[in-house]
Amino acid sequence: MEVGKVPENVLKRSVLKKIFNKRPEVVLGAGIGEDCAAVQLAEDEQFVISSDPITGTVEDIGKLAVQVTVNDLSAAGAEPIGILLTILLPEGTREIKLKQVMADVSAACTAANVQVMGGHTEVTKAVNQILLSVTGVGKVKAGRLISTAGAKAGMDFVITKWIGLEGTSIIAKEQEERLKEKLPVSLIRDAKNFDQLLSVQAEAAVAVEHGVKAMHDITEGGVFGALWEMSEASGVGCEIDLKKIPIKQETVEICEQFGLNPYKLISSGSMLMATEDGVGLVQALQQQGIHAVIVGKATDSNDRVILNDGERRFLEPPKVDELYNVH
Protein backbone atom coordinates (compact mmCIF):
# COMPACT_ATOMS: atom_id res chain seq x y z
CA MET A 1 0.00 0.00 0.00
CA GLU A 2 1.10 3.54 -0.70
CA VAL A 3 1.75 6.32 1.82
CA GLY A 4 -1.34 8.14 3.06
CA LYS A 5 -4.81 7.28 4.27
CA VAL A 6 -5.75 3.71 3.53
CA PRO A 7 -8.04 3.73 0.45
CA GLU A 8 -11.76 3.64 1.22
CA ASN A 9 -12.29 0.25 -0.42
CA VAL A 10 -9.45 -1.24 1.66
CA LEU A 11 -10.82 0.43 4.80
CA LYS A 12 -14.24 -1.09 4.15
CA ARG A 13 -13.17 -4.65 3.40
CA SER A 14 -10.11 -5.03 5.66
CA VAL A 15 -11.02 -2.84 8.65
CA LEU A 16 -14.72 -1.98 8.98
CA LYS A 17 -15.94 -5.42 7.88
CA LYS A 18 -13.70 -6.97 10.55
CA ILE A 19 -15.52 -5.17 13.36
CA PHE A 20 -18.06 -7.64 14.70
CA ASN A 21 -18.75 -7.09 18.38
CA LYS A 22 -21.33 -4.38 19.15
CA ARG A 23 -22.34 -2.69 22.42
CA PRO A 24 -25.79 -1.12 23.00
CA GLU A 25 -24.20 1.90 24.74
CA VAL A 26 -22.37 2.90 21.54
CA VAL A 27 -24.75 5.16 19.64
CA LEU A 28 -22.19 6.36 17.07
CA GLY A 29 -19.42 4.03 15.99
CA ALA A 30 -16.83 3.44 13.29
CA GLY A 31 -17.76 4.46 9.77
CA ILE A 32 -16.50 6.20 6.66
CA GLY A 33 -15.98 9.89 7.45
CA GLU A 34 -16.79 9.52 11.15
CA ASP A 35 -14.23 11.26 13.38
CA CYS A 36 -15.98 10.69 16.70
CA ALA A 37 -17.69 7.98 18.68
CA ALA A 38 -20.51 8.43 21.16
CA VAL A 39 -21.56 6.43 24.20
CA GLN A 40 -24.87 6.76 26.07
CA LEU A 41 -24.42 6.58 29.86
CA ALA A 42 -26.87 6.72 32.75
CA GLU A 43 -26.87 9.64 35.19
CA ASP A 44 -25.05 7.67 37.90
CA GLU A 45 -22.29 6.38 35.59
CA GLN A 46 -18.94 7.89 34.64
CA PHE A 47 -16.72 7.68 31.58
CA VAL A 48 -13.34 6.04 32.11
CA ILE A 49 -10.79 6.55 29.32
CA SER A 50 -7.38 4.98 28.78
CA SER A 51 -4.79 5.27 26.01
CA ASP A 52 -1.78 3.08 25.14
CA PRO A 53 0.46 2.33 22.15
CA ILE A 54 2.01 -1.07 21.48
CA THR A 55 5.65 -0.51 20.50
CA GLY A 56 7.66 -3.35 22.08
CA THR A 57 6.62 -6.12 19.67
CA VAL A 58 4.84 -6.88 16.40
CA GLU A 59 3.92 -10.44 17.44
CA ASP A 60 0.18 -10.67 18.17
CA ILE A 61 0.06 -6.87 18.19
CA GLY A 62 -3.70 -6.74 17.59
CA LYS A 63 -4.47 -8.95 20.56
CA LEU A 64 -2.01 -7.16 22.86
CA ALA A 65 -3.29 -3.72 21.90
CA VAL A 66 -6.82 -4.60 22.95
CA GLN A 67 -5.79 -6.54 26.05
CA VAL A 68 -3.55 -3.83 27.49
CA THR A 69 -6.27 -1.21 27.17
CA VAL A 70 -8.99 -3.47 28.58
CA ASN A 71 -6.69 -4.21 31.53
CA ASP A 72 -6.19 -0.50 32.21
CA LEU A 73 -9.93 0.08 32.31
CA SER A 74 -10.49 -2.99 34.49
CA ALA A 75 -7.83 -1.79 36.93
CA ALA A 76 -9.88 1.36 37.44
CA GLY A 77 -12.89 -0.75 38.39
CA ALA A 78 -14.59 0.09 35.10
CA GLU A 79 -16.50 -2.07 32.66
CA PRO A 80 -14.76 -1.78 29.26
CA ILE A 81 -17.11 -0.74 26.45
CA GLY A 82 -15.06 0.07 23.39
CA ILE A 83 -11.82 1.21 21.81
CA LEU A 84 -10.67 3.81 19.32
CA LEU A 85 -7.92 2.22 17.25
CA THR A 86 -5.14 4.00 15.35
CA ILE A 87 -3.16 1.77 12.98
CA LEU A 88 0.05 3.15 11.45
CA LEU A 89 1.55 0.94 8.74
CA PRO A 90 5.03 1.20 7.20
CA GLU A 91 5.25 1.85 3.49
CA GLY A 92 4.93 -1.34 1.48
CA THR A 93 2.73 -3.18 3.98
CA ARG A 94 0.56 -5.76 2.23
CA GLU A 95 -3.18 -5.56 2.76
CA ILE A 96 -3.23 -9.17 4.01
CA LYS A 97 -1.16 -8.06 7.01
CA LEU A 98 -3.66 -5.31 7.87
CA LYS A 99 -6.48 -7.82 7.56
CA GLN A 100 -4.72 -10.22 9.96
CA VAL A 101 -4.13 -7.47 12.53
CA MET A 102 -7.81 -6.56 12.40
CA ALA A 103 -8.83 -10.20 12.71
CA ASP A 104 -6.74 -10.41 15.90
CA VAL A 105 -8.22 -7.14 17.17
CA SER A 106 -11.75 -8.35 16.51
CA ALA A 107 -11.16 -11.68 18.23
CA ALA A 108 -9.75 -9.92 21.29
CA CYS A 109 -12.66 -7.48 21.33
CA THR A 110 -15.17 -10.30 21.19
CA ALA A 111 -13.41 -12.12 24.03
CA ALA A 112 -13.47 -8.96 26.17
CA ASN A 113 -16.92 -7.84 24.95
CA VAL A 114 -15.77 -4.46 23.71
CA GLN A 115 -16.50 -2.70 20.43
CA VAL A 116 -14.16 -1.00 17.98
CA MET A 117 -15.90 2.37 18.00
CA GLY A 118 -13.69 4.14 15.50
CA GLY A 119 -10.13 5.19 14.78
CA HIS A 120 -7.69 5.89 11.96
CA THR A 121 -5.72 3.72 9.55
CA GLU A 122 -2.75 5.08 7.60
CA VAL A 123 0.39 4.08 5.72
CA THR A 124 3.27 6.35 6.67
CA LYS A 125 7.04 6.72 6.26
CA ALA A 126 7.18 7.73 9.95
CA VAL A 127 7.21 4.11 11.17
CA ASN A 128 9.32 1.08 10.24
CA GLN A 129 6.98 -1.48 11.81
CA ILE A 130 3.25 -1.67 12.47
CA LEU A 131 2.25 0.66 15.31
CA LEU A 132 -1.09 0.43 17.11
CA SER A 133 -2.37 3.05 19.51
CA VAL A 134 -5.57 2.36 21.40
CA THR A 135 -7.87 4.62 23.38
CA GLY A 136 -10.24 2.68 25.58
CA VAL A 137 -13.65 3.79 26.82
CA GLY A 138 -15.35 2.27 29.83
CA LYS A 139 -18.02 3.03 32.39
CA VAL A 140 -18.19 2.81 36.17
CA LYS A 141 -20.90 3.53 38.69
CA ALA A 142 -20.45 6.80 40.58
CA GLY A 143 -18.41 6.26 43.72
CA ARG A 144 -16.84 2.98 42.53
CA LEU A 145 -13.89 4.36 40.56
CA ILE A 146 -10.61 2.85 41.77
CA SER A 147 -7.28 4.63 41.31
CA THR A 148 -3.63 3.73 41.71
CA ALA A 149 -3.48 6.32 44.51
CA GLY A 150 -5.79 4.64 47.02
CA ALA A 151 -3.24 2.73 49.14
CA LYS A 152 -2.99 3.67 52.83
CA ALA A 153 -0.37 2.75 55.45
CA GLY A 154 -1.09 -0.68 56.91
CA MET A 155 -2.85 -2.03 53.83
CA ASP A 156 -1.80 -5.35 52.31
CA PHE A 157 -0.27 -5.44 48.85
CA VAL A 158 -1.64 -8.39 46.84
CA ILE A 159 -0.34 -9.62 43.47
CA THR A 160 -2.41 -11.82 41.16
CA LYS A 161 -1.21 -14.64 38.91
CA TRP A 162 2.53 -14.32 38.14
CA ILE A 163 4.81 -11.46 37.14
CA GLY A 164 6.53 -11.31 33.76
CA LEU A 165 3.86 -13.19 31.81
CA GLU A 166 3.67 -10.76 28.90
CA GLY A 167 7.41 -10.19 28.58
CA THR A 168 8.15 -13.90 28.83
CA SER A 169 5.65 -14.71 26.09
CA ILE A 170 6.99 -11.99 23.78
CA ILE A 171 10.61 -13.09 24.23
CA ALA A 172 9.73 -16.75 23.77
CA LYS A 173 8.03 -15.98 20.46
CA GLU A 174 10.57 -13.52 19.08
CA GLN A 175 13.69 -15.37 20.25
CA GLU A 176 12.42 -18.93 19.88
CA GLU A 177 15.27 -20.22 17.73
CA ARG A 178 17.95 -18.81 20.02
CA LEU A 179 16.23 -20.17 23.11
CA LYS A 180 15.99 -23.66 21.59
CA GLU A 181 19.79 -23.84 21.74
CA LYS A 182 19.72 -23.69 25.54
CA LEU A 183 16.23 -24.55 26.84
CA PRO A 184 13.75 -27.42 26.41
CA VAL A 185 11.22 -27.02 23.62
CA SER A 186 8.40 -27.74 26.09
CA LEU A 187 9.47 -24.84 28.32
CA ILE A 188 9.55 -22.45 25.37
CA ARG A 189 6.13 -23.66 24.22
CA ASP A 190 4.63 -23.11 27.66
CA ALA A 191 6.22 -19.66 27.86
CA LYS A 192 4.75 -18.66 24.49
CA ASN A 193 1.32 -19.67 25.78
CA PHE A 194 1.52 -17.20 28.67
CA ASP A 195 -0.27 -14.85 26.27
CA GLN A 196 -3.45 -16.73 27.22
CA LEU A 197 -3.16 -15.32 30.76
CA LEU A 198 -2.91 -11.60 30.02
CA SER A 199 -6.45 -10.51 30.90
CA VAL A 200 -7.05 -9.07 34.38
CA GLN A 201 -10.78 -8.54 33.95
CA ALA A 202 -11.69 -11.48 36.17
CA GLU A 203 -9.51 -10.48 39.13
CA ALA A 204 -10.54 -6.84 38.80
CA ALA A 205 -14.21 -7.83 39.08
CA VAL A 206 -13.51 -9.86 42.22
CA ALA A 207 -11.46 -7.02 43.70
CA VAL A 208 -14.17 -4.43 43.06
CA GLU A 209 -16.75 -6.55 44.85
CA HIS A 210 -14.32 -7.11 47.73
CA GLY A 211 -13.82 -3.35 48.18
CA VAL A 212 -10.18 -3.08 47.11
CA LYS A 213 -8.81 0.44 47.60
CA ALA A 214 -6.19 0.64 44.83
CA MET A 215 -5.33 -1.34 41.69
CA HIS A 216 -2.56 -1.10 39.12
CA ASP A 217 -1.95 -3.53 36.27
CA ILE A 218 1.74 -4.41 36.15
CA THR A 219 2.96 -3.32 32.72
CA GLU A 220 6.17 -1.56 31.60
CA GLY A 221 8.77 -1.43 34.34
CA GLY A 222 7.54 -4.70 35.82
CA VAL A 223 6.49 -5.33 39.40
CA PHE A 224 9.20 -3.07 40.83
CA GLY A 225 7.89 -0.24 38.67
CA ALA A 226 4.28 -0.92 39.66
CA LEU A 227 5.15 -0.98 43.38
CA TRP A 228 6.97 2.31 43.04
CA GLU A 229 4.14 3.92 41.06
CA MET A 230 1.39 2.84 43.47
CA SER A 231 3.45 3.94 46.49
CA GLU A 232 4.34 7.26 44.86
CA ALA A 233 0.77 7.96 43.75
CA SER A 234 -0.56 7.07 47.22
CA GLY A 235 2.11 8.91 49.19
CA VAL A 236 3.11 5.80 51.16
CA GLY A 237 6.13 3.59 51.61
CA CYS A 238 6.17 -0.18 51.29
CA GLU A 239 7.91 -3.28 52.58
CA ILE A 240 7.81 -6.18 50.12
CA ASP A 241 9.13 -9.71 50.57
CA LEU A 242 10.90 -10.56 47.31
CA LYS A 243 10.44 -14.30 47.76
CA LYS A 244 6.67 -13.91 48.01
CA ILE A 245 6.39 -12.25 44.60
CA PRO A 246 4.87 -14.96 42.35
CA ILE A 247 6.97 -15.86 39.31
CA LYS A 248 6.96 -18.79 36.89
CA GLN A 249 10.08 -20.89 36.37
CA GLU A 250 9.82 -20.27 32.62
CA THR A 251 10.21 -16.54 33.28
CA VAL A 252 13.24 -17.11 35.50
CA GLU A 253 15.02 -19.29 32.95
CA ILE A 254 14.26 -17.15 29.90
CA CYS A 255 15.36 -13.99 31.70
CA GLU A 256 18.60 -15.72 32.72
CA GLN A 257 19.39 -16.40 29.06
CA PHE A 258 19.40 -12.67 28.29
CA GLY A 259 20.66 -11.33 31.63
CA LEU A 260 17.31 -9.68 32.41
CA ASN A 261 15.81 -8.77 35.77
CA PRO A 262 12.34 -10.42 35.71
CA TYR A 263 11.07 -8.00 38.36
CA LYS A 264 11.55 -5.16 35.86
CA LEU A 265 9.93 -6.99 32.93
CA ILE A 266 6.59 -5.97 31.43
CA SER A 267 3.95 -8.02 33.23
CA SER A 268 0.45 -7.57 31.78
CA GLY A 269 -1.77 -10.30 33.21
CA SER A 270 -0.69 -9.60 36.78
CA MET A 271 -2.45 -7.05 38.99
CA LEU A 272 -1.13 -5.18 42.03
CA MET A 273 -3.83 -4.40 44.60
CA ALA A 274 -3.95 -2.61 47.94
CA THR A 275 -6.58 -3.67 50.45
CA GLU A 276 -7.36 -3.58 54.15
CA ASP A 277 -8.11 -7.33 54.05
CA GLY A 278 -5.46 -9.13 52.06
CA VAL A 279 -6.34 -12.56 53.42
CA GLY A 280 -10.00 -12.16 52.47
CA LEU A 281 -9.13 -10.84 49.01
CA VAL A 282 -6.73 -13.70 48.30
CA GLN A 283 -9.38 -16.20 49.38
CA ALA A 284 -12.01 -14.55 47.17
CA LEU A 285 -9.63 -14.63 44.19
CA GLN A 286 -8.65 -18.24 44.79
CA GLN A 287 -12.32 -19.23 44.94
CA GLN A 288 -12.54 -17.98 41.36
CA GLY A 289 -9.45 -19.96 40.36
CA ILE A 290 -7.16 -16.93 40.33
CA HIS A 291 -3.73 -17.36 41.92
CA ALA A 292 -2.93 -14.50 44.33
CA VAL A 293 -0.59 -13.82 47.24
CA ILE A 294 0.08 -11.11 49.82
CA VAL A 295 3.59 -9.81 49.16
CA GLY A 296 3.89 -7.03 51.75
CA LYS A 297 2.37 -3.91 53.22
CA ALA A 298 2.12 -0.19 52.69
CA THR A 299 3.93 1.83 55.35
CA ASP A 300 3.76 5.35 56.73
CA SER A 301 7.39 6.13 55.80
CA ASN A 302 8.85 7.33 52.51
CA ASP A 303 10.98 4.19 52.17
CA ARG A 304 10.07 1.67 49.47
CA VAL A 305 11.91 -1.44 50.57
CA ILE A 306 12.42 -4.91 49.09
CA LEU A 307 13.35 -7.56 51.66
CA ASN A 308 15.31 -10.66 50.66
CA ASP A 309 16.53 -12.99 53.43
CA GLY A 310 17.12 -10.08 55.76
CA GLU A 311 18.79 -7.92 53.13
CA ARG A 312 17.11 -4.57 52.49
CA ARG A 313 17.26 -2.76 49.19
CA PHE A 314 15.41 0.36 48.12
CA LEU A 315 13.20 0.63 45.09
CA GLU A 316 14.02 3.26 42.49
CA PRO A 317 11.73 5.02 40.02
CA PRO A 318 11.08 2.75 37.00
CA LYS A 319 13.41 3.04 34.04
CA VAL A 320 13.48 1.34 30.63
CA ASP A 321 11.67 -2.00 30.65
CA GLU A 322 13.89 -5.06 30.49
CA LEU A 323 12.14 -6.15 27.27
CA TYR A 324 14.12 -3.51 25.41
CA ASN A 325 17.41 -5.03 26.63
CA VAL A 326 16.91 -8.24 24.66
CA HIS A 327 19.59 -8.33 21.98
Residues 178, 320, single domain; the answer is yes
Q: Can you give the pLDDT at residue 294?
A: 98
Q: Name the pLDDT band for 70 (thresholds 50, 70, 90).
A: very high
Question: Mean of the pLDDT values across residues 68-93?
Answer: 95
State yes or no: pLDDT of 177 exceeds 90: yes
Percent of the chain whose pLDDT exceeds 70: 100
Looking at 107, 141, 175, the residue that finishes a domain is 141
Residues 197, 83, single domain; the answer is no
Phi and psi, residue 274, nearest 5°: -120, 130
Q: For residue 27, give its domain range.
A: 4-141
Q: Can you give the pLDDT at residue 43?
A: 87
Residues 128, 191, single domain; the answer is no
Q: How confident is the prediction for the chain on average, in pLDDT?
A: 94
State yes or no: pLDDT of 151 exceeds 90: yes
pLDDT per position as a tens digit, 21-59: 999 999 888 888 777 778 888 889 999 999 888 877 778
Residues 44, 190, single domain; the answer is no
Question: Mean of the pLDDT values across residues 82-100?
Answer: 96
3-state helix, strand, coil in the chain (%, to 5): 40, 25, 35
Looking at 116, 141, 166, the residue that finishes a domain is 141
Residues 155, 112, single domain; the answer is no
- Read off the pTM: 0.87
Q: Can you give the pLDDT at residue 60?
A: 87
Q: Where are the beta strands (DSSP E) in the chain?
A: 4-5, 26-28, 38-39, 45-54, 79-90, 115-124, 131-141, 156-160, 214-217, 237-241, 271-275, 292-299, 304-308, 311-314
Q: Can you give the pLDDT at residue 178?
A: 96
Question: Mean of the pLDDT values across residues 226-243?
Answer: 96
pLDDT per position as a tens digit, 298-312: 999 989 999 999 899
State yes or no: pLDDT of 130 exceeds 80: yes
Instruction: Confirm if 103 and 18 have CB atoms less than 8 A apart.
Output: yes
Burial class of 290 by CB neighbour count within 10 A (0 to 12, 13 to 18, 19+): middle
Q: Can you give the pLDDT at residue 195?
A: 95
Q: Can you give the pLDDT at residue 52?
A: 86
Closest CA to 326 of 178, 181, 123: 178
- Cα distances from 123 to residues 17, 24, 120, 126, in angstroms, run 19, 32, 10, 9
Give the number of domains in the chain: 2
Question: Mean of the pLDDT values across residues 242-263?
Answer: 98
C-alpha span between 107 and 86 (Å, rounded): 17
State yes or no: pLDDT of 143 exceeds 90: no
Residues 183, 304, single domain; the answer is yes
Long-range contacts for 100-103 (Cβ within 8 Å, ≥24 apart)?
Answer: 100/62, 101/61, 101/62, 101/130, 101/132, 102/14, 102/15, 102/18, 102/19, 102/62, 103/18, 103/62
Residues 42, 158, single domain; the answer is no
CATH number at residue 191: 3.90.650.10
Question: Mean of the pLDDT values across residues 5-31?
Answer: 89
Q: Can you give the pLDDT at residue 89?
A: 95
Residues 29, 88, single domain; the answer is yes
Looking at 114, 141, 168, the residue that finishes a domain is 141
State yes or no: pLDDT of 158 exceeds 80: yes
Question: Mean of the pLDDT values across residues 249-267?
Answer: 97
